[in-house]
Amino acid sequence: MERIKLHDKCFRVFIPYEKIEESIKAVARQLNDDYKEVENPLFLSVLNGSFMFAADLMKFLNFGCEISFIKLSSYSGVESTGEIKQIIGLNQPLKGRSVIIIEDIVDTGATIVELHKILMNAGVKDIKICTLLLKPDAYKKDLKINYAALQIPNDFIVGYGLDYNELGRQYKDIYVLDNN
Ligand code: 5GP
Ligand code: MG
């Protein structure tokens, strides 16, 4: 579908699935290389937005690993509220482990900074960040983004797991707000 309407807004295709998949495979190749000798790393997928990315990424990994999920919230509508709440907590021991955070998108970075703190407090040995999308012009934090499949300008996007007020997560392509 070239254009979609969600609630009151129209969106047009911005990144087709073929390009998304190609960039996920490139990230998977890096991970396969970097983690081949790491003992049982844990992928931590940030819900809801990263569910599709996490599922696709895992299919291309060839080393032993675990995956778990955490739910946080920072967004209301199309603007970041800046306030992060942990909704679903972690329930496995994290002390001494290597963790890779899987995010849908890093915008201001408030979410990953908060999650990073939670993981440090839980005694995680090594934390890396793997995001499908990065908005480099919005990101002003010091944490290194270790793996970013795609970089995009400061536009509001939906699809491939990302929502506009909970709609639009199921589309395989990524869409951008269309003001025309
Ligand atoms: P941050 O905390 O980095 O400002 O924002 C991170 C979270 O905000 C992301 O995990 C995502 O859920 C949401 N977010 C940021 N930018 C966008 C966007 O362009 N579209 C959508 N749908 N969500 C976004
Ligand atoms: Mg998210």
> Count of domains in the chain?
1
Dump pLDDT digits (tens) for 75-129: 445 555 556 555 566 778 899 999 999 999 999 998 899 899 889 988 999 999 9
- The CATH number of residue 123's host domain is 3.40.50.2020
Domain span at 22 = 17-74+83-154
Q: Residue 12: inside a domain, yes or no? A: no
104 CB neighbour count, 10 Å cutoff: 25
Q: Residue 63: inside a domain, yes or no? A: yes
Q: Is 107 a catalytic residue?
A: yes
Which atom of ligand 1 approaches the CA of 155 most closely? 19
- Residue of 34, 56, 104, 107 with catalytic role: 107
pTM of the model: 0.93
Is any ligand 1 atom within 6 A of the Cβ of residue 111? yes
Q: Residue 129: inside a domain, yes or no? A: yes
Dump pLDDT digits (tens) for 23-64: 999 999 999 999 999 999 999 999 999 999 999 999 999 999
Q: Residue 67: inside a domain, yes or no? A: yes
